[in-house]
Structure 1
Amino acid sequence: MKIAGLDIGSTGCKLTIFDSDGSCLGKAYRDYPVKRTKTAHEVEAQDIIDSVFEVMEEMGRRHPDIAGIGVTSFGETFVLTDKAGCPLHTAMLYTDPRGADEC
């Protein structure tokens, strides 16, 4: 049995495959551009989605018998979407300075 771990980070995502003994069988990684200015830290949500699908497709081709995937993600954020699930705005990173006054 093979299992996978998907880590969706603030600058990239990776999918790592393990066998039932816990040995690493391979991994795929994609980064995505992050926009950091003095007033905002954001990433395009579609870039994240595209990168996640790319690593899943790559490792799925190499290991078609994956039995399960555990998922972790970066910081505290959310993405508003339309009815079709398409992102309506960029995702604010947990390092974004706009909440400083509230903190």
Structure 2
Amino acid sequence: MLLVGLDIGTTAIKAVVFDEHGTALAEGRAATPWSVSPLGVQLEAAELLEAAASALTCALATAPGGAVASIGITGMGESGVLTGPDGEVVAPVIAWHDRRDLAELASLRAAISEDAFSARTGLPMREQWSLTKHRWLLTHLPETRRATMRFNIAEWVAFSLGGAPISELSLASRTGWLDLSRNWWTETLEWSGASQTLMPEVAVAGTNLGAVSAKAGISPPHRGGHHGSGA
């Protein structure tokens, strides 16, 4: 029985195959495909998925034979993927460390005090969190207003591999939209132009999201399994 861990990191995407005792057997790696321009740092979600599939395929190709029982996925926080009614991605993925949203941060500070924001979310008020970048996207890329679902990075990769849509708790808590009672905060959702209907159901890390789809492009093709997302 093989277990696979997939880490979607800021610098690289790494897949490691383990046996049931936790011994690492093989690994694959791909660079996280950021592009840098005067506007900032972002990537295309399709290219990110291709890099993740490449890392997984490389790891499985060099692993011993055996069925993959589970794929666990973790990834960087704050960055998000917006999808439309037919599941297509409608916006680039802005890097969590990108600072194009400083004007949006100033607007947030004018609307909600830093103390109130921190008391409600447990986060300091700064440009790292998802809500200011979401507002930037809606302001500067009108096509993003067609979005019907918003994923964090690890959640979107899991969904693209065939998993159920979720919002993993630890990642959701870094958006600025989830409060400490684990409820979506209406005030910050409305301020950013988001809504609760945009967010998948919140689930804890390790939740079984289903089986990897044969359409996911992961080879060897006979190796499928279950996967979860989150830290």
Same-fold call, TM cutoff 0.5: yes
* Unaligned ranges ≥5, structure 1: none
**Pairs within 5 Å for 1:40-55:** 40-55=40-55
> Is the alpha carbon distance of 1:33 and 1:51 closer, same or farther for their aligned partners in structure 2, counting shifts above 3 Å?
closer
- The match for 2:91 is 89
Kindly report the root-mean-square deviation, in angstroms, between the aligned alpha carbons of the 2 structures: 2.1
Is 1:8–1:14's contact at 8 Å kept on the other side of the alignment? yes
Structure with a larger share of its residues in helix: 2
Give 4+ residue runs of structure 1 displaced > 6 Å after superposition: none
Please state how far the C-alpha of 1:72 moved relative to its aligned partner: 0.5
Which of the pair has the greater relative contact order for Cα pairs under 8 Å at 6+ separation? 1
Please state how far the C-alpha of 1:6 moved relative to its aligned partner: 0.4
Moved more, 45-54 or 74-83: 74-83
1:49-83: CA deviation from partner (whole Å, max 9, x where unpaired): 11122223333444551111111111211111234
* TM-score after normalising by structure 1: 0.81
Structure with a larger share of its residues in strand: 1
Q: Does 1:14 align with 2:14?
A: yes
> Is the alpha carbon distance of 1:84 and 1:41 closer, same or farther for their aligned partners in structure 2, counting shifts above 3 Å?
same
- Identity value in percent: 26
SS in 2 for 1:79: strand
* Unaligned ranges ≥5, structure 2: 106-125, 127-231
Query: What is the rounded CA distance, in whole Å, between the counterparts of 2:91 and 2:12 in structure 1?
Result: 18
Is 2:29–2:58's contact at 8 Å kept on the other side of the alignment? no
1:76 to 75, 78, 100: 78
Larger Rg: 2
Please state how far the C-alpha of 1:38 moved relative to its aligned partner: 4.8
Query: What is the rounded CA distance, in whole Å, between the counterparts of 2:94 and 2:7 in structure 1?
Result: 18
Query: What is the rounded CA distance, in whole Å, between the counterparts of 1:86 and 1:31 in structure 2?
Result: 23
* TM-score after normalising by structure 2: 0.40
1:18-76: CA deviation from partner (whole Å, max 9, x where unpaired): 11221110001111431234541111111111112222333344455111111111121
**One-letter amino acid of the counterpart of residue 100, structure 1:** L
**One-letter amino acid of the counterpart of residue 20, structure 1:** E
SS in 2 for 1:41: strand
Query: What is the rounded CA distance, in whole Å, between the counterparts of 2:55 and 2:86 in structure 1?
Result: 22
Is 1:77–1:91's contact at 8 Å kept on the other side of the alignment? yes
**Pairs within 5 Å for 1:57-76:** 57-61=57-61, 62=63, 63-76=65-78
Query: What is the rounded CA distance, in whole Å, between the counterparts of 2:89 and 2:53 in structure 1?
Result: 15
